[in-house]
A and B are shown apart, each in its own frame.
Chain A
Amino acid sequence: MSDKICYHCGLDCGKNPVEFNDKCFCCNGCKTVYEILNQNELSCYYDLDQTPGTIPKEIQGKFDYLNNPDISDKLIEFSDGTTSVVEFLIPSIHCSACIWVLENLGTLNPAIINSIVNFPNKTVRINFKAEEVSLKDVVELLASIAYEPYISLEDADKTAKNKINKTLLYQLGVAAFGFGNIMLLAFPEYFETEGYWFNHFKYMFRWMMLILAIPVVVYSAKDYFITAYKGLSKKILSVDVPIALGVIVLFLRSSYEVITDIGPGYFDSLTGLIFFLLIGKFFQQKTYNFLSFERDYRSYFPIAVTKIVAGKEESVPVQDIKEGDRLLIRNEELIPIDAILINGDGLLDYSFVTGESVPVYKGTGDKVFAGGKQTGGAIEIDVINKMSESYLTELWSNDIFNKDIPKKNIKNLTDTISRYFTITIISIALIAGAFWAFKDIGIAASVITAVLIIACPCALALAAPFAMGNMLRIFGYRKFYLKNDAVIEEMSKINHIVFDKTGTITTNEDNQLTYEGKPLTDKEKVALKILIRSSNHPLSRSLNKYIEVDIQSGKIENYKEIVGKGITGTVDLNEIKIGSAQFVGAEAKTNLSTTIYIKINKEVKGFYKSKNIYRKNVASIFSDLEKHYKLSILSGDNEGEKSYLQSILPDKTNYFFNQKPQDKLDYIKKLQDKGENIMMVGDGLNDAGALAQSNVGIAISEDINVFSPACDGILDAKLFKKLPNFLTLSKQTINTIKWSFGLSFLYNIIGMYFAVTAQLTPLIAAILMPLSSISIVIFVTLITNIIANKR
């Protein structure tokens, strides 16, 4: 390791930093970005944050498809011919310097009128002169300073989500307005019931309260009526039923009291109740907009591919690919469809599909499957299947991915309790009403309404949103992102955890290398290292790290890197060849793992075998989990690792190897049919079926900005060891909610005493209802914070 870190991206520069302007860079890409920014007087970028950049990717020809008007029209949000507006998702936005440089794009290209970053969503909205620059130019400009946008057609239509959020804000605003004003108007009634001025003005005060309460009930609370009605028509007594009932009774009785001049009514309690409920709803809605939990294979795919027609390159949308088409796949591009390799050397990274990131070599005539990413020179492929028949898409035809079919019938804790609660409340109301009916029919009516009012389960409805909403945020701070708060409850019910192997309990970041063959002398190692330093291939880099010898500068002659095969060169008169078995002319001994063969002076010395290493603490995590959960491992790989796994993991763990995606899904289903609640922990697209089928699907991700398959939660791979903690926390959250239910029942019993004895005055209601709500909110928030801090 050298002390020098890249001025742009902060990575270690290695032994040969690129120097420019007295500054070190890890690669030419980073240097170029610095040059661009420096020339345009944007070098302030580097003052705002230390090493704010990311390494730019090769973009040559990558965005040609944006010249296709069909595609660019879909991406551009608005255009009047002269100016266009477009919004991009840029996953690499991560610091304040990013905001600054992206909002100063106009300095780089004057045709960009303005650009506005939305940091939490990681989007930038760009307003540009369409006559002077094309969409492609804008995207290439972004990519040239290493802010490559993520473009997918699926994301182009995403308007519905935001609208819902805004409606809730409007409802909250109306409720706050009504609540605030009604509290002021209700105040005199709390203290005075007689007196000249009081009697003189009380009609106006009361009527104004009635008028102000109407929009709150009709607009702000309307969702409760709708969901209660929907629930009832399906014969479900959800918590919204007693709420809707309470709101209606409160409003009708209060209006009756005001109209017939009996009393002031309970408008203060009514609007306060709705206001608090909406705040709970708002708090519950923590969404991670920059993450998507709904992606299917299509989001992994490019929008367009390069098709070769009569020797000419042409950009066509993916869905227009037909059988027999010849496609050109460049470096870093994804193969969208099953095909036969015609030209070039395929070095395919199937990490999207299998989680395994070490590239697989494919030669001319080999079959290549959809989902592989080419990591070498350009290749030409002939399409052999229809899009819908490819290996990848078959999995997605499973019903589990059909959003129209309701997935699981989740009955949450609140609804389960509220069913008994509602029945009890209505019985109490009727019994108390019947009792009073013998004495006074008028009192009986008011007792029934009073019971329904005081029993309105405000506290009950608030406990779960606040406890789970708060825990959801705490999880988020700890880089465990859940789709919604209901996942916490599902997590607490888990009794069987299923793990994928590759990429989940092993890490893709480091590969462990082992050497087999004739031992190499130090001299040979030095020569090898000198040669390997020149290569940028991931395997070369890990080999460079692995060979620990001191080197002086050596001279390389005849250096050649043949993409997808290996490197060759002469160091100190030793002719060295490093690469695949086929490349050095050796017999491949093993197909089970990736190998790098070494040939020095026409003699095959041996090979380095790359093996995935297991994440730290896997054994201790498993033995932790084993105390409370059944454990299984499902792997798409062969049984090569079974004996090793058995030696480090608890005895009761179940192992299944050679599992295809469909097998994984079926296994989960089988367990669920036995009544078990499954948590699936996986990473690749090959786990997507199992993740969707399981009760809780957690995707492990080395980089949360890289897209994970559809799931319920995304966990940063570095925090894998915290998984048992998160599971315990979710259980404790549910326990907290149960405790707060106890507390809210206590309030209800007190309130019920006043109600059945016909003593419920507006003042008691006005004290008891907010008191119960606020104390429950404080209680659950405090407790969830305390239990989270302990872990």
Chain B
Amino acid sequence: MEVIYITMAVSVLLGGLFLYLFFKNVKTGQYDDIYTPSVRMLFDDELVKEPKKDKKEIVEKKSTQ
């Protein structure tokens, strides 16, 4: 049962690690804005689509000329 000393130490250390990470994230501003990133992550798709979109625009421009 002496193993409990190790498991206890590990559990508190893990807790401490999470506390440290939480502190670090608060400090770097991860919790300053909890809305915008949720929108931002959806934009990567838009950027990939963009070249295709350009062709369409060019075609449109040509057709109007």
State the Cβ distance, A22 to closest chain B Cβ, in Å.
6
The answer to the question of A21 belonging to the interface, with a C-beta cut-off of 8 Å to chain B, is: yes
A181 and B46 in contact, given A173-B23, A197-B1, A201-B4 (Cβ under 8 angstroms): no
* A120 touching B36, Cβ below 8 Å: yes
* B19 touching A173, Cβ below 8 Å: yes
Instruction: Name which residue of chain A comes closest to B33, CB basis.
Output: A118
Task: Out of A99, A169, A201, name the residue touching B39 (CB < 8 Å).
Answer: A99
State the Cβ distance, B5 to closest chain A Cβ, in Å.
7
The answer to the question of A547 belonging to the interface, with a C-beta cut-off of 8 Å to chain B, is: no
Task: Out of B4, B19, B39, name the residue touching A119 (CB < 8 Å).
Answer: B39
Task: Out of A41, A117, A169, A180, name the residue touching B36 (CB < 8 Å).
Answer: A117
A 202-216 binary contact with B (CB < 8 Å = 1; else 0): 001000100010000
Interface residues in B14-65 by Cβ distance below 8 A to A read: 15-16, 18-19, 22-23, 26-27, 31-36, 39-40, 42-43, 46, 49-50, 53-54, 57, 60-61, 64
Q: How far is the CA of A364 from the CA of B52 in the complex (A)?
A: 59
Q: How far is the CA of A667 from the CA of B18 in the complex (A)?
A: 57
* A118 touching B22, Cβ below 8 Å: no
A 162-190 binary contact with B (CB < 8 Å = 1; else 0): 10001001100110010011001000000
State the Cβ distance, A544 to closest chain B Cβ, in Å.
31
State the Cβ distance, A183 to closest chain B Cβ, in Å.
11
* B36 touching A118, Cβ below 8 Å: yes
- Which residues of chain B are within 8 angstroms of A626 by Cβ–Cβ distance? none
* B12 touching A208, Cβ below 8 Å: yes
A121 and B23 in contact, given A43-B53, A44-B50, A96-B39 (Cβ under 8 angstroms): no
* B35 touching A119, Cβ below 8 Å: yes
- Which residues of chain B are within 8 angstroms of A121 by Cβ–Cβ distance? 33
State the Cβ distance, A174 to closest chain B Cβ, in Å.
7
- Which residues of chain B are within 8 angstroms of A440 by Cβ–Cβ distance? none
Q: Interface SS of chain B: helix, strand, loop or mixed?
A: helix
A 35-71 binary contact with B (CB < 8 Å = 1; else 0): 0001001011001100000000000000000000000
* B15 touching A177, Cβ below 8 Å: yes
Q: How far is the CA of A120 from the CA of B31 in the complex (A)?
A: 12
* B57 touching A38, Cβ below 8 Å: yes
* B60 touching A103, Cβ below 8 Å: no
- Which residues of chain B are within 8 angstroms of A201 by Cβ–Cβ distance? 1, 4
Q: How far is the CA of A43 from the CA of B58 in the complex (A)?
A: 12
Q: In the complex, which range does the number of interface residues on chain B fall in?
A: 20 to 34
* A100 touching B43, Cβ below 8 Å: yes
Q: How many A-B residue pairs have CB under 8 A?
A: 73
- Which residues of chain A are within 8 angstroms of B46 by Cβ–Cβ distance? 44, 47-48, 100
Q: How far is the CA of A44 from the CA of B5 in the complex (A)?
A: 59
- Which residues of chain A are within 8 angstroms of B6 by Cβ–Cβ distance? none
Q: Which of A116, A173, A204 counts the most chain B CB atoms within 10 A?
A: A173
Q: How far is the CA of A121 from the CA of B16 in the complex (A)?
A: 32
- Which residues of chain A are within 8 angstroms of B11 by Cβ–Cβ distance? 181, 184
* B36 touching A162, Cβ below 8 Å: no
Q: How far is the CA of A21 from the CA of B32 in the complex (A)?
A: 41
Instruction: Name which residue of chain A comes closest to B31, CB basis.
Output: A169
Q: How far is the CA of A44 from the CA of B56 in the complex (A)?
A: 12
A103 and B26 in contact, given A44-B53, A173-B19, A177-B16 (Cβ under 8 angstroms): no
Q: How far is the CA of A181 from the CA of B14 in the complex (A)?
A: 10
Instruction: Name which residue of chain B comes closest to A174, CB basis.
Output: B19
Q: How far is the CA of A776 from the CA of B33 in the complex (A)?
A: 30
Interface residues in A79-124 by Cβ distance below 8 A to B read: 96, 99-100, 103, 116-121
- Which residues of chain B are within 8 angstroms of A100 by Cβ–Cβ distance? 43, 46
- Which residues of chain B are within 8 angstroms of A170 by Cβ–Cβ distance? 23, 26
Instruction: Name which residue of chain B comes closest to A93, CB basis.
Output: B36
Q: Which of B16, B18, B39, B60 counts the most chain A CB atoms within 10 A?
A: B39
Task: Out of B26, B61, B64, name the residue touching A166 (CB < 8 Å).
Answer: B26
State the Cβ distance, A4 to closest chain B Cβ, in Å.
18
State the Cβ distance, A510 to closest chain B Cβ, in Å.
34
State the Cβ distance, B42 to closest chain A Cβ, in Å.
8
* B12 touching A21, Cβ below 8 Å: no
A204 and B39 in contact, given A21-B61, A118-B33 (Cβ under 8 angstroms): no
* A177 touching B18, Cβ below 8 Å: yes
- Which residues of chain B are within 8 angstroms of A99 by Cβ–Cβ distance? 36, 39-40, 43
- Which residues of chain A are within 8 angstroms of B34 by Cβ–Cβ distance? 120
* B64 touching A21, Cβ below 8 Å: yes
A119 and B36 in contact, given A170-B26, A177-B19 (Cβ under 8 angstroms): yes
* B22 touching A173, Cβ below 8 Å: yes
Q: How far is the CA of A277 from the CA of B53 in the complex (A)?
A: 53
- Which residues of chain B are within 8 angstroms of A204 by Cβ–Cβ distance? 5, 8
Interface residues in A241-270 by Cβ distance below 8 A to B read: none
Q: How far is the CA of A626 from the CA of B12 in the complex (A)?
A: 62
A173 and B8 in contact, given A43-B57, A99-B39, A103-B40 (Cβ under 8 angstroms): no
A180 and B40 in contact, given A21-B60, A120-B33 (Cβ under 8 angstroms): no
Q: How far is the CA of A181 from the CA of B43 in the complex (A)?
A: 40
* A41 touching B54, Cβ below 8 Å: yes
> What 4 A-B pairs come out closest when comparing CB atoms?
A119-B36, A177-B19, A118-B33, A173-B22
**What are 23 contact pairs spanning A and B, CB under 8 A?**
A21-B60, A21-B64, A41-B53, A41-B54, A43-B57, A44-B46, A44-B49, A44-B53, A99-B39, A100-B46, A103-B43, A116-B36, A119-B35, A119-B36, A120-B33, A170-B26, A173-B23, A177-B15, A184-B11, A200-B1, A201-B1, A201-B4, A204-B5
Query: A residues engaging B (CB < 8 A)?
Result: 21-22, 38, 41, 43-44, 47-48, 96, 99-100, 103, 116-121, 162, 166, 169-170, 173-174, 177, 180-181, 184, 197, 200-201, 204, 208, 212
Query: B residues engaging A (CB < 8 A)?
Result: 1, 4-5, 8, 11-12, 15-16, 18-19, 22-23, 26-27, 31-36, 39-40, 42-43, 46, 49-50, 53-54, 57, 60-61, 64
8 extra interface residue pairs, beta carbon distance < 8 Å, beyond A44-B49, A197-B1: A116-B36, A118-B32, A119-B36, A120-B35, A162-B32, A177-B15, A177-B16, A181-B12
